[in-house]
Amino acid sequence: MAATESSYSTPKWWKEAVVYQIYPASFQAQPGVTSGWGTIKGITSRLDYLKSLGVDVVWSSPILKSPQADMGYDIADYKDIDYRYGTLEDVDELIAELKKRDMKLMMDLVVNHTSNEHSWFLESRASLDNPKRSWYIWKKPKSISSDGVPEPPNNWAQILGEANSAWTYDEKTGEYYLSLFTPEQPDLNWENPEVRAAVYDVMHFWMKRGASGFRMDVINLISKDPAYPDADIVLDPGHRYQPGSKYFVNGPKLHDYLQEMHRDVLSKYDTITVGEMPGVSDDKEILRSVGSNSGELRMIFIFDLVDIDKPNVRMALKPWDVKEMKSIITRWQKVMIENDGWNSVFIENHDNPRSVSRYADDSDEWREKGAKLLALMQTTLGGTLFVYQGEEIGMRNAPTAWDISEFKDIETINYWKKCEQLYANDPEKLAYGRKIIDMKARDHARTPMQWSAGENAGFCDPGTKPWMRVIDDYPKINVEAQLKTDDSVWHFWQGVLKHRKEHADAFVYGNFQDLAPEHPEVFAYVRTSTKGERWLVVLNFSGKELEWALPQGFEVESWDRSNHVQGSPDKPKLASVPLKPWEGLLGKCK
């Protein structure tokens, strides 16, 4: 194929796949397990459910051996399973059962850092001259304070607790190690070829065992600025440490490492790969990773939409509006289509609050309509679609009435500790800190899956205490109830996923045109298939009724569905279309 010829619309299984993310601690515990944690056998028991929804690939957040300082994103052994979840044999069974259903498994690859209990790190910290010392990033203190305290090598802030340093001091060897996320997660030194070879060995291990690919955790942080300079001061004066992302996001050797990874591992298998790449939004830089000829990754998670309310750090707020949301989506649809790249489509994951609470209205009156609106939007956008557990039933954020002790995430705990220290005598600022938790804590996505109205929402056995509290609305919002109700959020998801697959040439591979970029509340666009078939999507992102005027000369042949009624909606096909609050429409155009 000539370099100038686009392969964007060339069919590939991983482009059309529907990927379902499972947070294993909270998905399903098997009967008889009293730990209150989900298990691998629990996942296997729900494969028929996932297949009936329309899922092709199951991506599980980490299930590998871990002390669980950051819920498995601190791995102590890349080739063994954490006892809480099960055994290697359980994973083999899961892969076999997926294969029977023509489904696949995507592993979560966490290789920017390990656990501080990994054998590699235990060796590395054993002595200054240990052969694995250079497997991690060690630096001498910048200085010794007047009190005799060693100062960190620079002013970088910890990502999951910006009040703390990104460096952790080791008393035994008198040096600091880089730990961008938490002290329990030391960063690997990717400059060392032995480290890279060990990572590739892990990847081969899982591919040969039957995995079909990887979601790569913060993969764009693996190359750091070798000078490790101080970060610019952007936070208020109460903060000693500052976000250092400028010096470790998409660092100088990132693409060298990803291309080597592709040559040595990925090119040898028919894989699905998606890189988690926070903090990068430059078209050309992203296309270096996901362009069809990049020789790196299939796609990445672009964070612009889920960071729409993020200023300098994640646990903070900034205002946003529907026009901004539309412009982000439109931009990335066009960038990938016009430059032969590939998108991932997602608005939920384990690191973000529930989408219906964030982008729509999660009140009892409008939750179902809002959840369906978001389903219609995502299933009509180009790229590989990712659905997060519970999104298909419209699960929402934890209640604001919950005591802070119910929140288990290390980021939330660190953030609240900072708020109590800084704002102990300022009730207004303390209340604002709690508001940020209620709106943005990662915990909201991590509550147990709501399977039924029974005790513990059917997540674990009656009488067992779940590792995290089940959201109180589970008697009304649960899978069992929605499977019995034809117009439920679940059935709407099932329908639009089926329609997406039937019309992949339009919704997966087709062209994209935003029809109302300046409208403050309506997101309207046309998807045009490779065969010239056109579909109109009209989404009212407001809680009020309004009229939207079709562009001049534009005519709808038939309205296919609405999130307000079952079957085909009765709507005008010319001129102006009345929209109910949070209404989404899909129509076939003439």
- Is 56 marked active-site? no
Task: Count CB-CB contacts under 10 A for residue 414.
Answer: 18
Q: Which of 23, 21, 45, 25 is nearest to 37 (CA)?
A: 25
Using the Cα atoms of residue 169, residue 171, residue 175 and residue 178 in order, give the sign of their dihedral. negative
> What backbone torsions phi and psi does residue 562 show, to the nearest 5 degrees?
-135, 155
Active site residue 217: yes
How far is residue 383's CA from residue 336's CA, in Å, rounded to a whole number? 9
DSSP for 318-376, written as a single string: ----HHHHHHHHHHHHHHHHHHT---EE-S--TTS--HHHHHS--STTTHHHHHHHHHH
For residue 58, the surrounding DSSP H or E stretch is strand 57-60
Determine which one of 56, 108, 276, 368 is catalytic.
276
End-to-end CA distance of the chain: 34
DSSP state of 266: G
Catalytic residue among 108, 217, 521, 560: 217
In contact, 581 and 543? CB cutoff 8 Å: yes
C-alpha 475/C-alpha 183 separation (Å) is 39
- What's the gap between Cα 507 and its chain centre? 21
CA distance 378 to 274: 17
Q: CB neighbours of 335 closer than 8 A, spacing ≥ 6?
A: 283, 286, 287, 341
- Among the listed residues 74, 22, 12, the one whose alpha carbon sits nearest the alpha carbon of residue 50: 22
Taking the C-alpha atoms of residue 56 and residue 101, their distance in angstroms, rounded to an integer, is 9
Q: Which of 445, 387, 386, 388 is nearest to 411 (CA)?
A: 445
Backbone angles phi, psi at 535, to 5 degrees: -125, 135
Residues catalogued as catalytic: 217, 276
